[in-house]
Structure 1
Amino acid sequence: MKCRLLTTFEPWWPDMVAMTVKGRPLEIGIVDLFDGSPERDAEFIRSFAQTAEDLGFAGIWLPEHILFFDQYESEYPYPSAPSAADPTRSEVHNATVDGKPRVEVSDDQGLLDLFQTAVQVSRATTRIRFGSSVLLLPLRNPAMISRELLTVGELTGDRFDLGVGVGWSSEEIEACETDFASRGRRNEDMMVDLRSRWSQDAAERPGTVRATPRMLVGGHSPAAIRRAAQVGDGWYPWNLTLPQFAEHHATYARKVAGSGRDLADQHVIAGLRFSGNLEALPAVVEGYARLGADGVNVSLRTDARSYDETLATASRILELAA
C-alpha cells in the first residue's frame, strides 16, 4: 500500500469507498463506555451491539479502569486528538489542572468488567468482534488472566482481541497493590508468559484447535513501540495525528524487521477520539489506512438517547453497510 504524508489538510479523496488492506476490508471499530448506569444497562449494551453489527462496524472496543478517583496527581497522556478540520494537527480536549492534563470522568464514573461485557454483547451478535482498549495487564495474575482470556475466547466464539497497556494512573495501580514503576517490565513478562501458557495448553490438547487472542500493544512511547514490535501481534496507538502516526509507524516497522518478524503478519489499529463534523471522518480513516493501519477504532462519545443515529451517520459516511 503506497502512502503519502499530508503536510496540509486537503480533501484529497473524491468519495469515501470501502477500503481494503492486505486484501481484507479495513476494520472500523467503535470504542464506547458501558458503565451499568440506568441509561447504559444490559439491555442498552445488547441494543448497541446489534446496531453496530447491523451497520457494518467490525468491532466494539471496551476501555478498562478498575478504579476512578475524585482527584488525580497523575498526568493524562492523551489530552489531544487529531482535529476534525485538519487531521495533520491536534486539538486539546481535556482540561488542565496545575499545568497537567486531567482525564475526563463524571462524578459517578464507573465501568463494567470488560470480559463480562464482551460475553454479554456476543450473545446478541454473530459477527462483530470485541476488544480491550486497553486491558491493564500488569494488574493481573498470570495464571488467572490466562484462564480468563481462554474462557472469554470460548464464550465469544473466538471474537475477542486483546489490547494491552501499562496504565497511566499511579493512583489506580497503587490502589490495586501493584508497583507503578515496574509496570512496563511486568506487562512484557506477562505477554511472554501468556504465549507460553497457551502453547502448553495447545500441546496438552492434541488435535484440538483453540484460538487465542491476538495481543496488540497500546501506546506510542519508545518502550510501547518496541514491545509491540518484538513481543506483540500488533500495535494500537491512540490519538495520533497523521504525521505523528507516520513517524511512529516507520519506527515500529523498523523494529519489527529488526526482530526478524514480518510486518505483514502484524496487525495495526489506529485509535482516536473524534469530535466534530462526521463528514470529516473519512479523511482521518483513509489517512491512517494509507499510512499503514489495518483498522481504525473511533470513540464518538455517543449519547445513550441518540447513539443509533450517530452510528448510522458514521456508517453511511464510511459506507460500511454498503
Structure 2
Amino acid sequence: MTPLLGRQALPARPQLTIQPRNFAADDPGGWDRLVDTAVAADAAGIDRIILSDHVVFGENPEAYADPTRGGTKGGRQPTGPDGHWLEPLTTLAFLAGQTTRVRLGTSILLAALRRPVVLAKTAATLDVLSGGRFDLGVGVGWQEEEYTAAGLEFAARGRQLDHTLEVCQTLWGQSRASFESPELSFDGIHAMPKPLQAGGVPIWIGGTVQRRSMERLARFGSGWIPWGPAVADLKGGVRAMREALEQLGRDPATVQVTSYLPAIMDSDGVLDLAATVTAAPTWVELGITDFKVPMVVPAGLGPATEALTGLVEAFRAAVG
C-alpha cells in the first residue's frame, strides 16, 4: 500500500496566492516581469506563487470551453497555438533561487505527461533546493493533443494521473522502493534525496466534484483546486466536495481549498482592492483557506513590491 503522503497541516491563517503569467500570446521579449513579480511577492509577504502548465498546443483551443473534455463552460484559452509558455517546474526552480520564503506551486501541472519517476525526482529536488517550499498542484487538463504528442491516451488521463501520483508517493516515502501496478513494476529502487517536507511534497488536486476526482482528492490531496461548475457555484461546490470526502472516509476538515476572490471594479474599470477583499471573511467561513486575487501587478520591482505590499495589508486587515 502506498503511504498517505502529500498532505499538509492546515495553515493557521488564510493564505494569499498570486498567479503571475508564465505565458504570453506573443514573444514578450524577456521574462523580467515574471521574475520581478516573484521577488516582489517574496518581499511583500505573499504566501504562495503558482504557475500554470501547457507542454504543447494543438489547433483546437476552443476545446477549453467544452466541459465534456475537461474544459470549463464559457472559458477561453488565453493564448493561441503559438503562445509562449514557460515550463512551470523549470521556472519555479529558477524562482526558488531568487526568493527565500514564498511558497512555490503549480496550478495545474499536467503531471501525467511526465514520466512518473522523473517527476518524483524533479519535485523532490525542487523541494530540497527551495527549502521545503514546493506545492504540486495537478489535474488532467482539457487538451487531447498534449496527450497525443506525449504518446498517451487522452481517454485514460485520469488513471494516468493516479498512476503518476502513486509512483511519486512511493518513491518519496520508501527508502527501498517497490511498486506493482498494471502499468509498471519495480523493486529495490532507491531515489534520494527525499522531499524536505515531512510527508513529502503537498499535492493539490484540481477537478470538478465527480467520483474520480473526489477519490483522487481523498487519497492524495492536501488541497483542492475547484474547477468547472464548482467555481461558478463555489458554496455548492465546497458543500458537495465535503459530502463526497466524508462518504470516502476522508475528513474534509483536513483539506485546504483555494479560490479566486471575485474582482470588484471601480467606476474607471480598475480593481477596487479594498472592496474586493471585504468578501474574504465570508469565504473563510465557507471553508476557503487559500485566496487568489485577480490583480494586475505593475512592471518593475519597485512598483510590483509596493502594489503587492498593499494587497497583503488589505487582505490581512480583512481576514487577520
**TM-score normalised according to structure 1 size:** 0.74
The one-letter code matched in structure 1 to 2:64 is E
| Alpha carbons 1:191, 1:232 under 8 Å: kept | no
- Residue 218, structure 1, aligned to residue 198, structure 2: no
Please report how far the alpha carbon of residue 130 of structure 1 lies from its aligned counterpart in structure 2 after TM superposition.
Answer: 0.5
| Alpha carbons 2:230, 2:236 under 8 Å: kept | no
Which of 206, 214, 234 matches 1:245? 234
**What is residue 314 of structure 1 aligned with on the other side?**
311
**What is residue 51 of structure 1 aligned with on the other side?**
40
Please report how far the alpha carbon of residue 109 of structure 1 lies from its aligned counterpart in structure 2 after TM superposition.
Answer: 1.9
Match runs of 1:174-253 below 5 Å: 174-201=148-175, 210-211=196-197, 212-222=200-210, 223-238=212-227, 244-253=233-242
| Alpha carbons 1:173, 1:179 under 8 Å: kept | yes
- Residue 279, structure 1, aligned to residue 267, structure 2: no
Please report how far the alpha carbon of residue 289 of structure 1 lies from its aligned counterpart in structure 2 after TM superposition.
Answer: 1.6
The whole-number CA distance in structure 1 between the counterparts of 2:134 and 2:33 is: 20
- Residue 121, structure 1, aligned to residue 118, structure 2: no
The whole-number CA distance in structure 2 between the counterparts of 1:216 and 1:260 is: 18
**TM-score normalised according to structure 2 size:** 0.75
The whole-number CA distance in structure 2 between the counterparts of 1:68 and 1:302 is: 27
**What is residue 288 of structure 2 aligned with on the other side?**
293
| Alpha carbons 2:62, 2:77 under 8 Å: kept | no
After superposition, what is the alpha-carbon deviation per residue over 1:129-154, rounded to whole angstroms, capped at 9, x for unaligned?
A: 01101000121211111111111111
The one-letter code matched in structure 2 to 1:298 is V
- Residue 62, structure 1, aligned to residue 62, structure 2: no
SS at match of 1:74: helix
Please report how far the alpha carbon of residue 275 of structure 1 lies from its aligned counterpart in structure 2 after TM superposition.
Answer: 6.8
The one-letter code matched in structure 2 to 1:68 is F
Please report how far the alpha carbon of residue 271 of structure 1 lies from its aligned counterpart in structure 2 after TM superposition.
Answer: 4.1
Q: Percent identity?
A: 26
| Alpha carbons 1:238, 1:272 under 8 Å: kept | no
| Alpha carbons 2:16, 2:46 under 8 Å: kept | yes
Please report how far the alpha carbon of residue 180 of structure 1 lies from its aligned counterpart in structure 2 after TM superposition.
Answer: 0.9
- Residue 28, structure 1, aligned to residue 16, structure 2: yes
The change in CA–CA distance for 1:49 and 1:209 in structure 2 (over 3 A counts) is closer
**What is residue 260 of structure 1 aligned with on the other side?**
249
Q: Which moved more, 1:161-170 or 1:208-217?
A: 208-217
The whole-number CA distance in structure 2 between the counterparts of 1:56 and 1:282 is: 16
The change in CA–CA distance for 1:51 and 1:300 in structure 2 (over 3 A counts) is same
After superposition, what is the alpha-carbon deviation per residue over 1:45-103, rounded to whole angstroms, capped at 9, x for unaligned?
A: 4322221122221010001111234542513369xxxxxxxxxxxxxxx9x9xxx7531
Which of 106, 117, 125 matches 1:151? 125
**What is residue 76 of structure 1 aligned with on the other side?**
65
RMSD over aligned CA atoms reads: 3.5
After superposition, what is the alpha-carbon deviation per residue over 1:225-249, rounded to whole angstroms, capped at 9, x for unaligned?
A: 3321233222111477788222222
Please report how far the alpha carbon of residue 312 of structure 1 lies from its aligned counterpart in structure 2 after TM superposition.
Answer: 4.0
| Alpha carbons 1:57, 1:315 under 8 Å: kept | yes
Please report how far the alpha carbon of residue 107 of structure 1 lies from its aligned counterpart in structure 2 after TM superposition.
Answer: 7.3
| Alpha carbons 1:45, 1:121 under 8 Å: kept | no
SS at match of 1:163: strand
| Structure 1 gaps, min length 5 | 1-20, 79-93
SS at match of 1:103: coil
The change in CA–CA distance for 1:54 and 1:256 in structure 2 (over 3 A counts) is same
Q: Which moved more, 1:246-255 or 1:60-69?
A: 246-255
Please report how far the alpha carbon of residue 281 of structure 1 lies from its aligned counterpart in structure 2 after TM superposition.
Answer: 2.0
| Structure 2 gaps, min length 5 | 1-8, 178-189, 266-270
The one-letter code matched in structure 1 to 2:282 is G
Please report how far the alpha carbon of residue 320 of structure 1 lies from its aligned counterpart in structure 2 after TM superposition.
Answer: 7.1
Please report how far the alpha carbon of residue 39 of structure 1 lies from its aligned counterpart in structure 2 after TM superposition.
Answer: 5.7
The change in CA–CA distance for 1:273 and 1:226 in structure 2 (over 3 A counts) is farther
**What is residue 77 of structure 2 aligned with on the other side?**
103
SS at match of 2:121: helix
The one-letter code matched in structure 2 to 1:300 is M
